[in-house]
């Protein structure tokens, strides 16, 4: 497969899958979803291979050249994000296959609400199959976003992703409508701010293409205004502290496979765009170090605030959702260290960006696995109150193992991907002389250990003998275990990932 | 004052009004309308740009026009989804306000 064919395949498979799943209807949607997931992983692997061997891949859509046309580009960073998305997405698909299939009259969503609002009610079984087309659409939007090299096309993919993500939240039933609506309003506001910034950039430079813009970028008031608007819009969408408030209710009240997809993959899109903007585009502006410094400071607040809030939660899904707020903070700190000032001090070997992608990948695998475990526990116990789950290690040994492994990776203990990522982040921080960042990372790890091991300790508590729990099919639990093992195995992926990220990296 | 400048200034005014409504209103329908006004302002500024950023003064730049058309499609879809969700929330909770905005005198 040539590079450009692989690139187009990566884009087409999920979108074609979404259409096929919709046309196949209630009975055939699962098959379409699983098939698209398998093909998507193969295409992403092929693309990563060609990028690694042959450098950056480009496709001019419809044969129209930049600046009139839209160019799709796959560099190392894009290929890495595509591969992560495909692998985690496949795990989520396997989980969802039996999760939605098994949901009988005692639908597991009905107590899923970790929200301050009224508890969500059962999702009507007749609409559950819609998970497949909507999820495949969200996946296609993610892939398109990672491949876009054009600011306006990025806006369109952001909107596609946002609408699909809102629809996924709304799948939980009428009780989740408020969470979905809040998410939609903020996502729309975020993309309006973003497009306003894009417009200012176009007015000043007459191009939307990222590479052309980088060459033509002239410092000035309009560029700074554009940068501020786009960054603010993306901060809302990425749920960076203090704009994170919409995330816990939206992620905490969704069905388990949806929570996994949103928390593991969808929020990473905003981080990816922020990294593209501040490392590739605005980084060259004089005095541009201020904004990454601000993002890093917000990230540090997010790590601590998210950790403290997670400690205070009594419901498992809400706790896991706040953990995502904290984990996004690490990515912002890595962004600061990867930006001009940090990398100059560290010798510009891309160490911080490497740490960021490794952390993002480990978090995606571990967080997806953990939300899946929470879904299995919810199905078994009918609730997700942490303190009333005593003895889940005996009832659901596979789920308890998956939970323990993903907790290890989220805390950052060896031998997991989370450990290698955090280690690389602390190394970059120390080399850049940013001791505060190293301290925040360590403090965040302690907080994560406190809340995750508290939840895990319930697995080994003595179960009250009279409490019977419902049976949970093995396939979803094994999918959660597989993703937890991916989080562990990422510890060995450091070197290949570093080589991949060097392809097309802006230096 | 040129026509393009007039369009641009009107666009800025619409953006400001829409942003205020989207942030300050509590009724979700008002917020959605505010976001639509905000979007219209953004599109109007783009249309104004089309006449400004061109090499030949007599021929407007087609790229912003294509962007406005795409943007309108996106805005219509997003508004439809928002209205559907609002109806659903209203049917379920009996209130057109988000839970954090509700208090005793909410409709």
Spell out which residues of chain B touch residue A222, defining contact as CB-CB under 8 Å. Answer: none
Tell me the C-alpha distance between A199 and A195, whole Å: 6
**pLDDT, position B56:** 55
Encoded tokens for A192: 């309006």
| Contacts of residue B56, Cβ cutoff 8 Å, sequence gap at least 6 | none
**What one-character DSSP code corresponds to residue A123?**
P
Q: Would you call A163 and B70 a contact, using CB atoms and an 8 Å cutoff?
A: no
Residues of A in contact with B35 (CB under 8 A): 185, 188-189, 192
A168 in Cβ contact with A138 (< 8 Å): yes
The CA-atom distances, in angstroms, between A52 and each of A9, A56, A211 are 17, 8, 20
Query: Cα–Cα distance between A425 and A342 in angstroms, integer?
Result: 12
Residue of A nearest to B20 (CA): A189
Min Cα distance B78 → chain A (Å) is 7
Lowest mean pLDDT among A193-202, B20-29, B46-55: B46-55
Residue A507 domain-assigned (yes or no): no
* Minimum distance, in Å, between the CA of residue B105 and any CA atom of chain A: 17
Cβ-contact A51, A75 below 8 angstroms: yes
The reported pLDDT for the residue numbered B105 is 55
Interface of B with A in 88-107 (CB under 8 A): 88-89, 91-93, 98-100
pLDDT at A468: 58
Interface of B with A in 7-66 (CB under 8 A): 15, 22-23, 28, 31-32, 35, 38-39, 42, 45-46, 49, 52-53, 61, 63-64
ipTM of the complex model? 0.92
Count of structural domains within chain A: 1
Cross-strand bridge partners of residue A74: A57
Per-residue pLDDT tens digits of chain A, which is 507 residues long: 677 888 999 999 999 999 999 999 888 898 999 999 999 999 999 999 999 888 888 888 877 877 777 889 898 899 999 999 999 999 999 999 888 765 443 444 443 433 333 333 345 667 788 999 999 999 999 999 999 988 999 999 999 999 999 999 998 888 888 999 999 999 999 999 999 999 999 988 888 888 888 888 888 888 899 999 999 999 988 888 888 888 888 888 888 999 999 999 999 999 999 998 988 888 777 777 788 889 999 999 999 999 999 999 989 999 999 999 999 999 999 988 888 654 554 444 567 888 889 999 999 999 999 999 999 888 888 888 888 887 888 888 899 999 999 999 999 888 899 999 999 899 888 888 888 899 999 999 999 999 999 888 888 887 765 565 677 888 888 999 999 999 999 988 888 888 888 887 654
The per-type count for chain A, helices as H runs and strands as E runs, is 20, 2
For residue A385, the cross-strand partners are A315
Residue A110: what pLDDT?
40
Residue B59 has φ and ψ, to the nearest 5°, of -125, 110
Tokens at A120, concatenated: 């969500």
Chain B residues in contact with A170 (beta carbon < 8 A): 85, 88
**What residues of A are in contact with residue B78 (Cβ under 8 Å)?**
159, 162-163, 184, 188
Whether the CA torsion A288, A292, A293, A298 is positive or negative: it is: positive
pLDDT of residue A280: 82
Residue A395 forms part of a structural domain: yes
Cβ neighbour number for residue A37 with a 10 Å cutoff: 27
Q: Which two tokens stand for residue A265?
A: 């993959």
* Cβ partners under 8 Å of residue A451, min gap 6: A307, A310, A311, A313, A319, A323
pLDDT in tens, A137-179: 999 999 999 999 889 999 999 999 999 999 999 988 888 889 9
Taking the C-alpha atoms of residue A34 and residue A31, their distance in angstroms, rounded to an integer, is: 5
Q: Which domain holds residue A474?
A: 3-501
pLDDT of the residue at A102: 52
Q: Which of A76-90, A149-163, B33-47, B93-107 has the lowest average pLDDT?
A: B93-107
Chain pair A-B, CB pairs under 8 angstroms: 90
Q: Least CA distance to A159: which residue of chain B?
A: B74
Nearest chain B alpha carbon to A121: B92
Q: Which residues contact B41 (CB under 8 A, 6 or more apart)?
A: B10, B11, B12, B13, B14, B15, B16, B17, B18
Q: Give dist(CA A243, CA A186) in Å, integer.
A: 10
Instruction: Spell out which residues of chain B touch residue A159, defining contact as CB-CB under 8 Å.
Output: 74, 78
* Pairwise CB contact (< 8 Å): A202 & B100: no
What does the DSSP 8-state code read for residue A506?
-
A228 and B CB contact within 8 Å: no
User: Does residue B10 contact residue B3 with C-beta atoms inside 8 Å?
Assistant: no
CA distance A260 to A213: 35
Q: Which has the closest alpha carbon to A233: A158, A291, A132?
A: A158
A173 in Cβ contact with A121 (< 8 Å): yes
Parallel, antiparallel, or unpaired for β A57-60 and A71-74?
antiparallel
Query: At CA A155, angle to CA A248 and CA A160, rounded to 5?
Result: 60
Query: A57 has which bridge partners?
Result: A74
Rounded to whole angstroms, the Cα distance separating B103 from B107 reads 9
* Residues found in chain A: 507
Second CATH level (architecture) for the domain B3-101 = Orthogonal Bundle (1.10)
Please classify residue B53 by burial: count the beta carbons closer than 10 Å to its beta carbon, then call 0-12 exposed, 13-18 middle and 19+ buried: middle
Name which of B49, B63, B64 is nearest A68 (Cβ-Cβ).
B63
């Amino acid at each position: 497969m040539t590079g450009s064919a692989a690139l187009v395949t990566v884009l087409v498979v999920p979108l074609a899958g979404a259409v096929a799943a919709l046309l196949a209807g209630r009975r055939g949607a699962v098959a379409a979803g699983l098939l698209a997931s398998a093909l998507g992983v193969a295409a992403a692997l092929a693309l990563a291979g060609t990028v690694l061997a042959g450098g950056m891949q480009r496709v001019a859509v419809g044969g129209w050249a930049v600046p009139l046309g839209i160019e799709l580009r796959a560099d190392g960073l894009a290929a890495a994000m595509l591969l992560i998305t495909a692998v985690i997405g496949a795990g989520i698909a396997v989980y969802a296959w039996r999760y939605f299939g098994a949901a009988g009259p005692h639908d597991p969503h009905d107590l899923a609400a970790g929200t301050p609002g009224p508890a969500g009610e059962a999702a009507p079984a007749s609409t559950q199959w819609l998970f497949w087309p909507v999820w495949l659409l969200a996946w296609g939007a993610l892939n398109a976003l990672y491949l876009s090299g054009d600011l306006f096309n990025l806006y369109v993919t952001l909107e596609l992703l946002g609408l699909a993500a809102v629809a996924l939240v709304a799948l939980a039933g009428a009780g989740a409508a408020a969470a979905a609506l809040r998410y939609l309003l903020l996502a729309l506001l975020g993309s309006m701010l973003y497009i306003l910034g894009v417009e200012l950039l176009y007015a000043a430079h007459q191009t939307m293409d990222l590479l052309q813009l980088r060459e033509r970028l002239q410092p000035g008031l309009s560029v700074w205004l554009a940068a501020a608007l786009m960054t603010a819009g993306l901060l809302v969408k990425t749920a960076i502290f203090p704009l994170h408030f919409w995330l816990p209710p939206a992620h905490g009240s969704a069905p388990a496979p949806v929570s996994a997809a949103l928390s593991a993959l969808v929020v990473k899109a905003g981080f990816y765009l922020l990294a593209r903007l501040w490392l590739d585009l605005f980084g060259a502006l004089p005095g541009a170090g201020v904004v990454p410094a601000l993002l890093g400071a917000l990230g540090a607040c997010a790590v601590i605030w998210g950790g403290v809030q997670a400690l205070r939660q009594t419901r498992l899904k809400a706790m896991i959702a706040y953990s995502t707020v904290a984990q996004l903070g690490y990515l912002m700190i890595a962004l600061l260290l990867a930006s001009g000032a940090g990398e100059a001090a560290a010798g510009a070997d891309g160490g911080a960006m490497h740490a960021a992608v490794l952390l993002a990948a480990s978090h995606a695998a571990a967080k997806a696995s953990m939300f899946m475990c929470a879904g299995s526990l919810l199905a078994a116990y009918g609730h997700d109150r942490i303190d009333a789950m005593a003895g889940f290690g005996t009832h659901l040994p596979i789920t308890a193992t998956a939970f323990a492994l993903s907790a290890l990776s989220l805390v950052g203990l060896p031998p997991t991907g989370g450990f290698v990522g955090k280690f690389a982040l602390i190394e970059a921080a120390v080399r850049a002389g940013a001791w505060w960042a190293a301290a925040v990372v360590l403090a965040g790890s302690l907080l994560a250990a406190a809340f995750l091991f508290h939840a895990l300790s319930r697995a080994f508590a003595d179960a009250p003998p009279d409490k019977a729990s419902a049976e949970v099919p093995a396939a979803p639990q094994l999918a959660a275990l597989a993703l937890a093992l991916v989080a562990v195995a990422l510890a060995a992926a450091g070197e290949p990932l570093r080589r991949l990220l060097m392809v097309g990296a802006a230096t | 004052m040129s026509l393009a400048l007039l369009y641009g200034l009107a666009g800025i005014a619409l953006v400001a009004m829409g942003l205020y409504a989207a942030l300050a209103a509590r009724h979700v329908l008002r917020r959605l309308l505010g976001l639509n006004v905000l979007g219209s302002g953004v599109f109007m500024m783009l249309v104004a740009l089309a006449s400004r950023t061109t090499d030949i003064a007599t021929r407007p730049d087609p790229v912003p026009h294509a962007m406005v058309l795409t943007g309108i499609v996106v805005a219509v879809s997003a508004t439809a989804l928002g209205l559907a969700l609002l109806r659903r929330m209203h049917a379920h909770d009996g209130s057109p306000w988000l839970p954090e905005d509700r208090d005793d005198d909410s409709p």
